Amino acid sequence: MSEPAVVMEGITKRFPGVVANDAVDFRVERGTVHALLGENGAGKTTLMNVLYGLYDPDAGRILVDGEERSFDTPRDAIDAGVGMIHQHFMLVDPMTVAENVVLGNEPSKWFGLAVDRERATREVRELAEAYGFDVDPTATIEEESVGVQQRVEILKALYRGADVLILDEPTAVLTPQEVEDLFAVLEELTAEGKTVVFITHKLGEAMEAADDITVLRDGEAVGTVPAAETTREELAELMVGREVLLEVDSDPARPGDVALAAEGIRVEDHRGVDVVDGVDFSVREGEVFGIAGVDGNGQAELVEAITGMRVPDDGTVGFLGVDVTRASRRERIDAGMAYVPEDRQERGLVMDFDLVENGLLGSQHSPPFASGGVIDWDRSRDHAEAVIETFDVRPGDPDAEAESLSGGNQQKFVVGREFSRDPALIVASHPTRGVDIGSIEFIHRQLLEMRDDGRAVVLVSSKLDEVRQLSDRLAVMYEGEFVGTVDPDAVSEEELGLLMAGERPDGVEDLTVPVSPGPGDGEGDRAPEVTGPAGSDGPGPVGTTTNEDAVAAPGSDGSERLDEGEPSDGDAGESEDVGTPTPDEGSDAGATRRGDEE
Amino acid sequence: MSSATDVRRAVGDWADTKRRIAGLAVLAAVVLWALVGVVLPSSAVGGAFWWTLGLTADAVRIGTRESTIRAALRLSVPIGFAALGGIFAEKSGVINIGLEGLLIISAFTGVLVTDLLGPGTGWLLVPAIGPLPAIAMPSIWIGFLAAVLASTLLALLFAVVCIEFRADQIIAGLAVWLIALGLAPFASRVVYGTVNSDGVGTLGTWTVPGLSALPVVGPILFQAAPTVLMLLVAVPASWYLLNRTTFGRWVRASGENPKALDTAGVSVHRVRYAGVLLSGVLSGIGGAGLSLGHVGLFIGNGQTMVNGKGFIAITAYLFGNYNPFGAFGASVLFAGLDALQIRLQQLPAYDIPESLVQTIPFVTVIVALVLVGRTRLPAAAGEHYESGEE
């Protein structure tokens, strides 16, 4: 075998209070795709930033093509043929693709008095064609989709003569279709003799796209394995350092009284289009009500209407028997409604506040944290410390700014703060988005514990396995409506995929009516239209019906819409943030549907 | 293409529609006003219409006079140069609201140095400095260079404070203004015993051979103060520098996404220093152009002779959407309104308070921003950047 493309030996990098990399050895063979796998905060990005010259290592040496190198700046790394594609693209939005690619290496004419724009455009076009990228050099970056922008980043590195390409979490921002395209690009690159290192915390991607996988844990390299000879379980264990339950076991729900009753919720967006179009549901204490669907089908707006981030244009929100449709956030919090928002950095935390202050958010006005407008900081600190302790937030320093925490730890802190309110209802929107495996498992357990404690939980997620595992009842949202509410254990992924595409498959039981302890429950009379005359069937412990009419109705006129919503359709998949876990499911769903039509 | 783009386009369309509606509403109001004027000429509203119509006619008549246009160009020198400087600083990511201070310091330094060297047209020998050979030059031009140097040094101080010591750009910019506003009249009082300096003469007039013979524009544009001619060169040169050279690319990238520039191996700090220093050089020419090119002395009363021109420069480049030509056009417009105002005051019918007229540039900017709405600040303007920080 030829000389390895990159060898890093004994790399140690310390930050104040943390050892991000501890004597890491890392070796990448030429012409391969190498995945650097690890949980958030395991030191993957730090290691690659060392290789790219953004950080100076405290110890260790780097060999590129067998030659020892030391990189003080990215420029040195670029000169040695190492290029990096960052998670957040380093692109200048108003400039064109070509301008971005040549930035810092502009070809000039007239003795440097002008940029040779024709040559830049031509060179970038040739480069794109050489690797089969579909990129227009004259388009501005802001016009292009995220997938194209990523290819521009790759072109930037190639233009600078990179032989080794480092990609930091390249799939985090892509739709499933774009991920497939990216993997094809990686193959193209290695076929041309380039070497690719990509950082990820997703097991499946590492196994699918990489030739070799190196796992980092707590700043140490715990092993390198060929992708073909490993299993998900082995990788998960390497990542977390113990056995991971990829499935969470849960006892059956013991639902109590209705905690949340939403009736006829309708929300218009700023254009006046209905994004939530008449949604009814109720959630009982002691059950997890899941809301699944491809992102952007109205889930976010529905959650906002429930939690008081906006007032719905129609409909009412009942909470513990009280109409809270127009109640403020503060009133809802005081009444016992906790909210884990979708975007922790935008809504969950104040990034430059420390954890004591962030732990106080939402409670800053009420006892025991405040009285007479004065905050009891000692008590707030105890509270933050308790949340940190219980939810294993790292680093466990209450004085740390939220910004300094990794995404997973930020999320754990938000979840911890919300759970500690002693809520009657928890609305959790994508509670594990961007969180590493260990933390996902932990957050899932906590959610189920809250449920078993007799609290109501609304769980919104675009991850199918997550909503299926945790929910007791699962509603699927499509174009602002609930297409169906089902028992997650009784439906297959394919059937769920169909529902997410807006169609009700045959033979799926409807659970719009909550599983109720007895008859005479008022909620049963108010079923959404799509389920047909469900109210007449009466609620019961099974409380459900297979309604042939309802099954047929959307299918007969729904095929047109279906094409739009189907994730495997290249067009739709390119720009929309399609939340189905893998594109395979989308095509399965599509295949089933086509079969039905014939 | 993609649905996200469609939504953005739809939102953009709606914003355009709103703007169109606003434009139509203004038009409808004017038409209604005119109707009232025709139907009820003696009513207060109707009378105001005819008064405004008369004012407009007089404004057009006076505004097209050669002397008014020459005055407008002269007045646009400090505004235009400061605006060009502001473009470079802000495009690189440093909002320089201290332009006013740079104008004040250079206006004063130019006069002071000229006076110390002995005003008049005598030539002085400048000794060799480093690689520069000794040359002879009139004292007033040495004063001019000193003005540019003073402004650049103050801009350097601002740059060090903002870039190296991470000070808030707005506060540091205000400090630059306040320092100059206090320092220049104080120094004048020390040297001259009063806030106003002695007269030192002006740079005179340059005539461009050939071009000045052109009909109409020739005598206006090409037989003018040297600083007016410099501005006419500086505007296209700035545009070229910003849009066609490598340096200009880096300046724009530094203000939009400094990290992109940094990871491409270009030092963001250096580019930003260059942008701010360039704003110092250009503002220095503008300040010296005001005192040495036009008035011939430094006036330190109140807000000094600069009197808000640095701030108008900021509105001028915003109005021109960071395009040097646009900024120049806005500068001439604002300066022209000023020149017009002075002349209209002399007609007995229009006793308009000067302070009211001086609000015109700012009102214009707000109206224009609402109706046109295309000014787009560089994405990273005002933000500090440090290499290697996440």
CATH of the domain at B304: 1.10.3470
Q: Out of A74, A100, A271, name the one closest to residue B265 (CB).
A: A74
Q: Which of B382, B312, B291, B365 is nearest to B99 (CA)?
A: B312
Cβ-Cβ contacts under 8 Å, A156 against chain B = 264
Residues B101 and B209 both lie in one domain: yes
Contact A507, A529 (CB under 8 A): no
pLDDT of residue B1: 40
Q: Has residue B335 got a pLDDT over 50?
A: yes
pLDDT digit string (tens) for B103-120? Answer: 999 999 999 999 888 766
Q: Has residue A69 got a pLDDT over 70?
A: yes
Q: Has residue A166 got a pLDDT over 70?
A: yes
Per-residue pLDDT averaged across B239-261, rounded?
Answer: 93
pLDDT of residue B369: 65
Give CA–CA dist A14/A393, Å, rounded. Answer: 20
Q: Has residue B389 got a pLDDT over 60?
A: no
- pLDDT band, residue B372 (cuts 50/70/90): low
Residues B158 and B13 both lie in one domain: no
Query: Sign of the C-alpha dihedral, residues A182, A186, A189, A191?
Result: negative
pLDDT digit string (tens) for A465-490? Answer: 788 888 999 998 888 889 888 888 88
Tell whether A87 lies on the interface with B, counting CB pairs under 8 A: no
**Which residue matches tokens 């060999």?**
A63
Residues B75 and B210 both lie in one domain: yes
Pick from A255-264, A367-376, A407-416: least confident = A367-376
Per-residue pLDDT averaged across B9-35, rounded?
Answer: 76
pLDDT digit string (tens) for B69-107? Answer: 888 999 999 999 999 999 999 999 999 999 999 999 999
Cβ–Cβ of A574/B245 closer than 8 Å? no
Q: Looking at A366-464, which runs of residues are DSSP E strands?
A: 370-371, 374-375, 425-429, 456-460
Query: Sign of the C-alpha dihedral, residues A466, A468, A471, A473?
Result: positive
- pLDDT band, residue A316 (cuts 50/70/90): very high
pLDDT digit string (tens) for A56-67? Answer: 899 999 999 888
pLDDT of residue A529: 37
Nearest-CA distance A521 → chain B (Å): 42
pLDDT digit string (tens) for A174-185? Answer: 766 778 888 988
Q: Has residue A595 got a pLDDT over 60?
A: no
Residue A488 is given by DSSP the state T
Tell whether A93 lies on the interface with B, counting CB pairs under 8 A: yes
Q: Has residue B297 got a pLDDT over 50?
A: yes
Give CA–CA dist B302/B61, Å, rounded. Answer: 33
Residues B161 and B58 both lie in one domain: no
Reported ipTM: 0.78
Q: Is B390 within the bounds of a domain?
A: no
Q: Which of A489, A486, A524 is nearest to A505 (CA)?
A: A486
Radius of gyration of chain A, Cα coordinates, nearest whole angstrom: 26
Max intra-chain CA distance, chain A = 87
Residues B250 and B316 both lie in one domain: yes
Pick from A491-500, A581-590, B143-152: least confident = A581-590
- The residue out of B63, B81, B99 marking a domain boundary is B63
Residues B20 and B86 both lie in one domain: no
pLDDT of residue A511: 67
pLDDT of residue B292: 92
Q: In chain B, which residue's Cα lies nearest the Cα of A406?
A: B390
> Is pLDDT larger for residue A165 or for residue B119?
A165
* Helix, strand and coil percent figures for chain B, each rounded to 5: 70, 5, 25
Q: Has residue A291 got a pLDDT over 80?
A: yes
Q: In chain B, which residue's Cα lies nearest the Cα of A50?
A: B388
How many contiguous H segments (helices) and E segments (strands) does chain A have? Answer: 20, 24
* Helix, strand and coil percent figures for chain A, each rounded to 5: 35, 25, 40
pTM: 0.68
Residues B168 and B184 both lie in one domain: yes
Q: Where are the alpha helices (DSSP H) in A453-528?
A: 464-470, 493-500
Cβ–Cβ of A103/B379 closer than 8 Å? no
Give CA–CA dist B77/B231, Å, rounded. Answer: 7
Q: Which two tokens stand for residue B376?
A: 């787009």
Q: Which of B154, B83, B92, B99 is nearest to B384 (CA)?
A: B92
The distance of Cα B279 from the centroid of its chain, to the nearest Å, equals 11
- Long-range (24+ apart) CB contacts under 8 A made by A201-204 are A201/A37, A201/A38, A201/A39, A201/A40, A201/A42, A201/A44, A201/A169, A201/A239, A201/A436, A201/A437, A202/A171, A203/A37, A203/A232, A203/A235, A203/A236, A203/A239, A203/A437, A204/A232, A204/A582
Residues B39 and B172 both lie in one domain: no
pLDDT of residue B208: 85
Mean pLDDT over each residue of chain B, to the nearest integer: 85
Q: Distance from first CA to last CA of chain B, Å, rounded?
A: 33
Per-residue pLDDT averaged across B25-42, rounded?
Answer: 85
Cβ–Cβ of A574/B260 closer than 8 Å? no
Q: Is B377 within the bounds of a domain?
A: no
Q: Out of A92, A114, A271, name the one closest to residue B244 (CB).
A: A114
Per-residue pLDDT averaged across A493-518, rounded?
Answer: 65
Q: Is B36 exposed, middle or buried (0-12, 13-18, 19+ CB in 10 A)?
A: middle
pLDDT digit string (tens) for A197-229? Answer: 999 877 788 888 899 999 988 888 888 999 888
Tell whether A569 lies on the interface with B, counting CB pairs under 8 A: no
Q: Give the domain range for residue B338.
A: 70-372
> Is pLDDT larger for residue A143 or for residue A294?
A143
What's the number of domains chain B is made of?
2
Q: Is B384 within the bounds of a domain?
A: no
- The residue out of B29, B63, B97 marking a domain boundary is B63
> Is pLDDT larger for residue A523 or for residue B88?
B88
The distance of Cα A211 from the centroid of its chain, to the nearest Å, equals 25
pLDDT over 70 percentage in chain B: 90
Q: Out of B260, B262, B388, name the one closest to residue A55 (CB).
A: B388
The residues, ordered by sequence, that sit 6+ positions from A592 with a Cβ below 8 Å of its Cβ are: A494, A497, A498, A505
Q: Out of B1, B11, B245, name the one closest to residue A115 (CB).
A: B245
Q: Is B305 within the bounds of a domain?
A: yes
Residues B193 and B248 both lie in one domain: yes
The distance of Cα B369 from the centroid of its chain, to the nearest Å, equals 18
- The residue out of B63, B87, B106 marking a domain boundary is B63
pLDDT of residue A576: 37
Q: Has residue B17 got a pLDDT over 90?
A: no
Cβ-Cβ contacts under 8 Å, B246 against chain A = 106, 108, 112, 115
pLDDT of residue A515: 47
Strand pairing report for A456-460 and A108-109: unpaired
Per-residue pLDDT averaged across A343-349, rounded?
Answer: 83
Cβ–Cβ of A93/B256 closer than 8 Å? yes
Residues B30 and B110 both lie in one domain: no
Q: Is B141 within the bounds of a domain?
A: yes
pLDDT of residue A467: 85
Tell whether A159 lies on the interface with B, counting CB pairs under 8 A: no
Q: Testing the interface with B: which of A13, A48, A75, A90 to mutate, by most B Cβ within 10 A?
A: A90
Contact A284, A514 (CB under 8 A): yes
pLDDT of residue A585: 39
pLDDT of residue A245: 54
pLDDT of residue A536: 39
The residues, ordered by sequence, that sit 6+ positions from A60 with a Cβ below 8 Å of its Cβ are: A8, A9, A10, A11, A12, A23, A24, A50
Q: Which two tokens stand for residue B67?
A: 């002397």
Nearest-CA distance A452 → chain B (Å): 40
Distances (CA, A) of B343 to A400, B59, B72: 63, 9, 12
Helix H or strand E encompassing A226: strand A220-226
Cβ–Cβ of A90/B260 closer than 8 Å? yes
Per-residue pLDDT averaged across B189-216, rounded?
Answer: 86
Mean pLDDT over each residue of chain A, to the nearest integer: 79
Q: Is B291 within the bounds of a domain?
A: yes
pLDDT of residue B211: 84
pLDDT of residue B5: 46
- pLDDT band, residue A535 (cuts 50/70/90): very low
pLDDT of residue A505: 66
Q: Is B260 within the bounds of a domain?
A: yes
Residues B54 and B122 both lie in one domain: no
Residues B175 and B136 both lie in one domain: yes
Q: Is B56 within the bounds of a domain?
A: yes
Q: Where are the alpha helices (DSSP H) in A135-201?
A: 146-159, 176-191
